[in-house]
């Protein structure tokens, strides 16, 4: 997840230099920044289904190699498409679209791993580690990539991220397994601790008969989950795309200071995601799945909205940056409850449900940089951040329709673990 964060953030850091070099307007840059999310959103469901069908080990390996290739190709776009600014802008956007398509496999398949490698009591903290990995990547990305760009130019950021991803893909393929039962280092006591009931027979461990989409889409809780996560997906992409540019252009920070301060939201995201996942599990133990998951979402999304409003109005650079960092942190505090709920509601099809949910989030993520650019240009950054606050708060309100204890696999035909059908 650290590598995916680097791949997602590199354009947000290199974007300042690309915009200066090629004279792109703010609105054009917004479309280039948003293209990643549209590719990411479009391929969430197919990649989640592939994880359920073929296993996350193979799916993630292929996906990482895919997006690393397009990440490296971003550095060659000006050489290949230089006839006009219009073609060049579209080339950058298309490159980012296909980078996002590759990264689409990351969350659904990683959450599939969490479903089988954690106990029922630890799904929140397990999901939070995924979000913490993204936050950790965001801590280092502004610092490392801004320095690399200053020394070797903006193209170097894409090459470095691509090569790192290839290395991680090879390590993942060589040492990971789909299920703990398949790993030579996992013993019987650990399997009992995980509550695993699957028994391998030497064949491939993923042979699902088909995702029960009708049953999923008939659930009120599923609709509440995906619509609320649409709202959640809006704000993080402002930090993934515009925050570094905001610090250097609007707040007037130098590139070096922008790189250092640009890591603060991701420090908050890393720490708060872990805290939110842990508290979500504790709340489930105390209040049950429905109220436990819901309570952490409400706290996180309400606090995030308030911090966005306050940060957009803060006069001092330090206070504004810290408030906005807390907004990002509280958003990540709430996020593990969504991912854990995918597992709560459909353990065996958590890849497909996670993909469906994350599709909606990344449609919002594609809209966010484009709409933010238009709002900031027309009305100012305070209004742009106020809109983000309203969307975040709405995400918490929609959780009134979500019941994480609504397990769609209660019928015997979906109890695949019990009968060894996968």
Q: Concatenated DSSP letters for 62-81?
A: HHHHHHHHHHHHGGGHHHH-
Residue 228 is assigned to a structural domain of this protein: yes
> To the nearest 5 percent, what fractions of the chain are helix, strand and coil?
80, 0, 20
Does the pLDDT of residue 272 top 80, yes or no?
yes
Residue 195 is assigned to a structural domain of this protein: no
Confidence of residue 42 (pLDDT cuts 50, 70, 90): confident
What separation in angstroms does the CA of 74 have from each of 43, 67, 99, 161, 385? 20, 11, 9, 11, 29
Confidence of residue 217 (pLDDT cuts 50, 70, 90): confident
Determine the Cα–Cα distance for residues 99 and 63; give it in Å rounded to an integer: 10
Confidence of residue 302 (pLDDT cuts 50, 70, 90): very high
The least confident of 1-5, 153-157, 225-229, 327-331 is 1-5
The more confident residue out of 178 and 93 is 93
Domain that holds residue 30: 2-180+210-419
Confidence of residue 415 (pLDDT cuts 50, 70, 90): very low
Residue 25 is assigned to a structural domain of this protein: yes
Buried b / exposed e across 345-370, counting CB within 10 Å, b at 16+?
Answer: bbbbbbbbbbbbbbbbbbbbbbbbbb
User: Average pLDDT of 234-259?
Assistant: 79
Confidence of residue 242 (pLDDT cuts 50, 70, 90): confident
User: Average pLDDT of 324-350?
Assistant: 89
User: Average pLDDT of 200-206?
Assistant: 45
Determine the Cα–Cα distance for residues 409 and 416; give it in Å rounded to an integer: 9
Confidence at residue 5, expressed as pLDDT on a 0 to 100 scale? 67
Give the rounded percent of residues in the chain with a pLDDT score beyond 70. Answer: 88
Alpha-carbon 363 to chain mean position: 12
Confidence at residue 188, expressed as pLDDT on a 0 to 100 scale? 78
| Residue 383: closest CA among 238, 226, 208 | 238
The least confident of 90-99, 188-197, 369-378 is 188-197
Residue 187 is assigned to a structural domain of this protein: no
User: Average pLDDT of 167-182?
Assistant: 85
DSSP state of 242: T
Residue 199 is assigned to a structural domain of this protein: no
Confidence at residue 84, expressed as pLDDT on a 0 to 100 scale? 57
Cβ neighbours around 194 below 10 Å, total: 18
pTM: 0.72
Q: Give the CATH number, domain containing residue 390.
A: 1.20.1250.20
What separation in angstroms does the CA of 327 have from each of 104, 304, 311, 418? 25, 4, 8, 42
Residue 98 is assigned to a structural domain of this protein: yes
Determine the angle formed by the axes of helices 350-379 and 234-241, rounding to 10 degrees: 60
Q: For the purposes of burial, counting CB atoms within 10 Å of the CB of 267, is it exposed (0-12), middle (13-18) or buried (19 or more)?
A: middle
Q: Tokens 């894409």 map to which residue?
A: 158
In the chain, the number of structural domains is 1
Residue 200 is assigned to a structural domain of this protein: no
Mean pLDDT of the chain: 82
Does the pLDDT of residue 387 top 80, yes or no?
yes
Does the pLDDT of residue 137 top 60, yes or no?
yes
Confidence at residue 420, expressed as pLDDT on a 0 to 100 scale? 39
Does the pLDDT of residue 155 top 80, yes or no?
yes
Confidence of residue 198 (pLDDT cuts 50, 70, 90): very low
Residue 203 is assigned to a structural domain of this protein: no
- What are the helix (H) ranges across 264-380? 264-287, 289-313, 317-345, 350-379
């Amino acid at each position: 997840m650290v590598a995916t964060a680097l791949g997602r953030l590199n354009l947000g850091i290199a974007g300042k230099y690309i915009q200066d070099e090629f004279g792109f307007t703010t609105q054009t840059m917004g479309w280039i920044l948003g293209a990643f999310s549209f590719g990411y959103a479009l391929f969430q469901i197919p990649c989640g289904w592939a994880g359920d069908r073929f296993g996350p080990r193979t799916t993630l390996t292929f996906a990482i190699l895919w997006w690393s290739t397009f990440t490296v190709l971003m550095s060659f776009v000006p050489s290949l498409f230089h006839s006009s600014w219009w073609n060049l802008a579209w080339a950058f956007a298309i490159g980012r679209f296909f980078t996002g398509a590759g990264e689409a496999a990351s969350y659904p398949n990683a959450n599939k791993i969490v479903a089988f490698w954690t106990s029922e009591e630890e799904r929140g903290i397990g999901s939070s580690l995924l979000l913490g990995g993204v936050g950790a990547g965001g801590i280092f990305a502004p610092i490392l990539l801004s320095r690399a760009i200053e020394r070797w130019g903006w193209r170097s950021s894409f090459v470095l991220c691509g090569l790192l991803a290839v290395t991680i893909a090879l390590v993942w393929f060589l040492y990971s397994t789909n299920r703990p039962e398949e790993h030579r280092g996992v013993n019987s006591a650990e399997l009992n601790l995980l509550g695993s009931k699957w028994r391998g027979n030497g064949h491939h461990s993923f042979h699902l008969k088909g995702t029960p989409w009708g049953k999923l889409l008939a659930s009120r809780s599923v609709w509440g989950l995906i619509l609320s996560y649409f709202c959640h997906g809006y704000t993080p992409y402002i930090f993934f795309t515009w925050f570094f540019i905001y610090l250097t252009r609007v707040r007037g920070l130098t590139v070096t200071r922008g790189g250092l301060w640009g890591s603060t939201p991701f420090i908050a995201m890393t720490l708060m995601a872990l805290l939110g996942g842990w508290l979500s599990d504790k709340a489930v133990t105390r209040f049950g799945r429905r109220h436990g998951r819901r309570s952490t979402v409400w706290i996180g999304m309400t606090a995030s909205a308030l911090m966005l409003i306050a940060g957009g109005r803060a006069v001092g650079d330090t206070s504004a940056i810290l408030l906005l960092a807390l907004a990002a942190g509280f958003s990540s505090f709430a996020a593990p409850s969504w991912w854990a709920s995918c597992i709560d509601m459909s353990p065996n099809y958590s890849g497909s449900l996670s993909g469906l949910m994350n599709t909606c989030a990344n449609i919002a993520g594609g809209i966010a940089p484009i709409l933010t650019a238009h709002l900031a240009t027309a009305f100012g950054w305070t209004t742009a951040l106020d809109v983000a606050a309203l969307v975040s708060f709405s995400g918490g309100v929609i959780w009134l329709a979500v019941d994480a204890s609504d397990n769609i696999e209660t019928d015997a035909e979906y109890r695949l673990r019990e009968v060894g059908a996968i």
